């Protein structure tokens, strides 16, 4: 341990007159600037240190004191900015101005104390800079008391041991490791704006088992922070409202058997309401960890970072805070937000004395990505529909053909299944088509259509858009005795996009494209009772939807499986017709049952596979009117609702057909 070497050098160095030796009682009222106003102390012709504190001295500096590195080489000896060693009596040194020590050439110690009854107090700002981190220290105290009351800027390590006490108050910036051992005491009372970058240790050094532990008490005010640079730190007491995070990597690991980039902070006594930034790798069961051994109280916050690229399954459990079973424990830990890892959301829960991350529902971005399955399925259903809804009453088709245009608008909501839920979407669209009888007096009509549908899905913590282009062919058989058969073949290409906020309020986006093919066959027969009629109907619709992959901007990769859909419908129309020589008005109400017989599919959140199914039943009810005017103009309109165990639908549909 380098502390041992430093101590040895201190005792071996001959004591001769220094450039600025403090003896007796004295007050310096002028500014001190070494080597400008005073020379450096020399040992064997080599400049060695700036201020030497002798026993029984009481010295006050009222103005600023500056000690800079001498220009000459010191031949691997240690330069000391201030030294108080081998004193049998007492000494008291007070700096009421600023203290600046800059030792930037090799081996150096900014403040070096080894006198039991010596004390140094700095009431102004303290600045200590040492250059060689491996072989230099900003502060090295074996015995005595050092108190820094003003603001401080310290670049270099700090070591306090034996009977020494170090107290650092006010706003402080410290870049270096801090260690209290073998009975040394360090008290850090750091105000807002303070920052420590380094590791802290107050336990016994494993390289020197004969050493006793030291005491290190840290109170971090709100907006003060500590960045931990090694994989292991140990502190006697932590309190306040400060921010603590690990920034270590493999190069800084202190134990050879540690193979990850994470760290642990051991705290004997935890108080206050600290904020801990912890890193996690829940898949490999690794993370930064807080360990409390003696007592824990207060409410503390753990800040976690979302990682959509993590290959989680939602079943992982990871301990972030470990509190000894024998510890006095009234502490509570909470997260700043539920953490999103992969496609799953994890919450912090208490298990015994410990606090662990456990899986919860899928994330908002996963929900939106997999919601493309639902949106595409429902859009395909909306676009297929029935003959009457698509074309109105076709029993009055023109001799030379028809052209038609229909529009529709509606809302779907309450889609639920597996881990997917709370899906709703408003939509609107149109279709344009033309058809013609195969020949005069033929019961067969053939036609084609093209259309576009727009959806506005709402997702948890966001929304999205859906655009579907569809085109197809159809043929219908219309018998004079009331029988009809309608067959439709359809192709659709759909583009989905979502924009949601994650649990950290970051925006996440994703886009997917899919293609689908569909076939449907509808059969019905009309039974007239004077102006009234009943028309039983049945329909069977098959469609195939291709899968796709959605790469969200948060790193989540969602694979949507392809699927086959087979929907059967059994329903009936109850109508009333008003006929005259030129016009025909058809008023009707309808009801029926619809069932999805297939619809099994899956989705993958990164590599975690989840099953999903569209199987279910729903009712289809509606009212409508189809009016043919002068044998050329057909106007039709209907309103329907479909409540079911998978989704609810409410739609209005209207169209116009012109017969030549």
Q: Given the structure tokens 């939807």, which residue do they identify?
A: 545
Q: Is the pLDDT of residue 11 over 50?
A: no
Helix (H, G, I), strand (E, B) or coil at 30: coil
Contact between 598 and 645 under an 8 Å Cβ cutoff? The reply is no
Q: What is the dihedral of CA 75, 80, 85, 91, to 10 degrees?
A: 160
Structure tokens at 598: 């297939």
86 falls in which pLDDT band (50, 70, 90)?
low
4 falls in which pLDDT band (50, 70, 90)?
very low
Beta bridge partner(s), residue 476: 445, 486
**What would the mean pLDDT of 195-206 be, rounded to a whole number?**
86
Structure tokens at 367: 């929900």
Residue of 517, 524, 505, 512 whose CA lies nearest to 551? 512
Residue partners of 505: CB distance under 8 A and separation at least 6: 337
Q: Is the pLDDT of residue 44 over 90?
A: no
Cα distance between residue 523 and residue 520, in whole Å: 10
Beta bridge partner(s), residue 189: 169, 219
Cα distance between residue 269 and residue 329, in whole Å: 10
Residue of 529, 602, 601 whose CA lies nearest to 565? 601
Q: Which segments within 336-374 are labelled E, that is strand?
A: 339-341, 344-351, 354-362
Q: Given the structure tokens 């606090």, which residue do they identify?
A: 355
| 94-108, 249-263, 302-316, 532-546: least confident range | 249-263
Domain boundaries along the sequence of the chain: 2-362, 390-659
Cα distance between residue 387 and residue 652, in whole Å: 15
Q: Is the pLDDT of residue 410 over 80?
A: yes
| 11-20, 103-112, 396-405, 502-511: least confident range | 11-20
Contact between 180 and 201 under an 8 Å Cβ cutoff? The reply is yes
Q: Is the pLDDT of residue 595 over 50?
A: yes
Beta bridge partner(s), residue 629: 583, 633
Residue partners of 266: CB distance under 8 A and separation at least 6: 203, 232, 233, 234, 235, 291, 292, 293
Q: Which segments within 336-461 are labelled E, that is strand?
A: 339-341, 344-351, 354-362, 402-417, 420-437, 444-459
Architecture of domain 390-659: Beta Barrel (2.40)
Q: Is the pLDDT of residue 79 over 50?
A: yes
420 falls in which pLDDT band (50, 70, 90)?
confident
Contact between 295 and 270 under an 8 Å Cβ cutoff? The reply is yes
pLDDT of 94-121, one tens digit each?
999 999 999 987 788 999 999 888 999 9
pLDDT of 306-328, one tens digit each?
999 999 999 999 999 999 999 99
Average pLDDT, the chain: 89
Cα distance between residue 256 and residue 573, in whole Å: 80
Per DSSP bridges, beta strands 317-323 and 289-296 are parallel
Per-position b or e across 4-39, b if 16+ CB within 10 A of its CB: eebbebbeebeeeebbbebeeeeebeeebebbeebe
Contact between 19 and 38 under an 8 Å Cβ cutoff? The reply is yes
Helix (H, G, I), strand (E, B) or coil at 400: coil
Q: Which segments within 241-343 are labelled E, that is strand?
A: 243-246, 264-270, 275-277, 280-281, 286-287, 289-296, 299-303, 317-323, 328-329, 332-335, 339-341
Structure tokens at 644: 């079911």
pLDDT of 206-219, one tens digit each?
566 666 899 999 99
Q: Given the structure tokens 């900003």, which residue do they identify?
A: 138
Phi, psi of 582 (to 5 degrees): -115, -15
Per-position b or e across 620-630, b if 16+ CB within 10 A of its CB: bebebbbbbee
pLDDT of 563-590, one tens digit each?
999 999 999 999 999 988 888 999 999 9
Helix (H, G, I), strand (E, B) or coil at 67: strand
pLDDT of 170-197, one tens digit each?
999 999 999 999 999 999 999 999 999 9
637 falls in which pLDDT band (50, 70, 90)?
very high
Cα distance between residue 359 and residue 335, in whole Å: 14
Phi, psi of 198 (to 5 degrees): 160, 180
pLDDT at 14: 39
124 falls in which pLDDT band (50, 70, 90)?
very high
| CB-side neighbour CA atoms (13 Å) of 450 | 0
pLDDT at 18: 45
Structure tokens at 483: 């029988």
The DSSP element (H or E) to which 381 belongs, if any, is: helix 364-384
Structure tokens at 66: 């500056």
Dihedral sign computed on CA atoms, order 65, 69, 75, 77:
positive
Residue partners of 330: CB distance under 8 A and separation at least 6: 296, 297
Q: Is the pLDDT of residue 203 over 50?
A: yes
Q: Is the pLDDT of residue 419 over 90?
A: no
Cα distance between residue 583 and residue 563, in whole Å: 45
Contact between 306 and 340 under an 8 Å Cβ cutoff? The reply is yes
């Amino acid at each position: 341990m380098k502390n041992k070497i430093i101590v040895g050098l201190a005792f071996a160095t001959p004591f001769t007159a220094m450039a600025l030796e403090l003896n007796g009682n004295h007050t310096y009222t002028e500014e001190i600037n070494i080597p400008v106003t005073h020379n450096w102390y020399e040992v064997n012709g080599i400049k060695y240190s700036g201020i030497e504190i002798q026993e029984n001295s009481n010295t006050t500096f009222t103005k600023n004191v500056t000690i800079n590195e001498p220009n000459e080489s010191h031949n691997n000896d240690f330069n000391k900015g201030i030294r108080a060693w081998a004193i049998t009596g007492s000494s008291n040194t007070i700096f009421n101005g600023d203290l600046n020590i800059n030792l930037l050439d090799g081996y150096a110690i900014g403040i070096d104390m080894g006198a039991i009854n010596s004390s140094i107090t700095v009431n102004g700002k303290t600045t200590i800079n040492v250059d060689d981190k491996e072989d230099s220290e900003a502060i090295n105290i074996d015995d005595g008391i050092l108190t820094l009351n003003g603001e401080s800027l310290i670049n270099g390590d700090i070591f306090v041991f034996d009977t020494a006490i170090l107290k650092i108050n006010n706003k402080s910036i410290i870049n270096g490791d801090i260690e209290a051992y073998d009975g040394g005491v360090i008290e850090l009372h750091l105000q807002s704006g303070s920052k420590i970058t380094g590791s802290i240790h107050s336990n016994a050094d494993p390289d020197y088992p004969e050493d006793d532990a030291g005491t290190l008490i840290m109170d971090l005010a709100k907006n003060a922070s500590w960045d931990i640079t090694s994989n292991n730190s140990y502190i006697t007491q932590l309190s306040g409202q400060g921010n603590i995070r690990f920034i270590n990597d493999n190069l800084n690991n202190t134990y050879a058997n540690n193979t990850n980039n994470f760290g642990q902070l051991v705290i004997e006594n935890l108080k206050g309401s600290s904020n801990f930034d912890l890193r996690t790798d829940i898949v490999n069961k690794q993370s930064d960890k807080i360990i409390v051994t003696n007592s824990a109280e207060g409410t503390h916050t753990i800040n976690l970072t979302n990682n959509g690229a993590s290959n989680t399954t939602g079943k992982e459990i990871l301990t972030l805070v470990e509190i000894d079973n024998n510890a006095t424990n009234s502490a509570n830990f909470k997260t700043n937000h539920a953490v999103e890892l992969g496609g799953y959301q994890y919450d912090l829960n208490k298990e015994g004395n410990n606090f662990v991350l456990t899986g919860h529902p899928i994330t908002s971005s996963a929900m939106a990505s997999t919601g493309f399955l639902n949106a595409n399925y429902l859009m395909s259903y909306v676009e297929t529909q029935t003959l009457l809804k698509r074309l109105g009453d076709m029993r009055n088709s023109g001799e030379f053909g028809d052209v038609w245009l229909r529009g529709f608008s509606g809302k779907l909501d309450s889609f639920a299944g597996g881990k997917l839920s709370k899906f709703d979407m408003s939509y609107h669209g149109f279709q344009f088509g033309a058809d013609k009888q195969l020949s005069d007096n033929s019961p067969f009509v053939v036609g084609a259509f093209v259309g576009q549908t727009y959806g506005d899905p709402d997702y948890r913590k966001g929304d999205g858009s859906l655009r579907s282009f569809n085109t197809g062919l159809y043929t219908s058989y219309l018998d004079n005795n009331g029988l009809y058969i309608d067959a439709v073949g359809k192709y659709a290409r759909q583009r989905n996009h979502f924009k949601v906020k994650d649990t950290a309020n970051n925006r996440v986006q994703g886009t997917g494209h899919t293609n689908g093919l569909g076939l449907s066959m509808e059969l019905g027969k009309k039974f007239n009772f004077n102006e009234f009629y009943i028309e039983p109907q049945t329909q069977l619709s098959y469609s195939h939807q291709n899968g796709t992959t959605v790469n969200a901007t948060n790193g989540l990769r969602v694979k949507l499986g392809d699927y086959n859909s087979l929907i059967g419908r059994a329903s009936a129309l109850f109508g009333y017709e008003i006929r005259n020589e030129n016009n025909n008005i058809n008023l009707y109400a309808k009801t029926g049952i619809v069932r999805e017989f297939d619809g099994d599919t899956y989705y993958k959140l990164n590599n975690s596979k989840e099953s999903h199914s569209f199987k279910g039943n729903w009712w289809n009810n509606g009212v409508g009117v189809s009016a043919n005017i002068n044998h050329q103009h057909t106007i039709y309109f209907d309103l329907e609702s479909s409540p079911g165990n998978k989704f609810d639908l409410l739609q209005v549909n209207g169209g116009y057909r012109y017969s030549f």
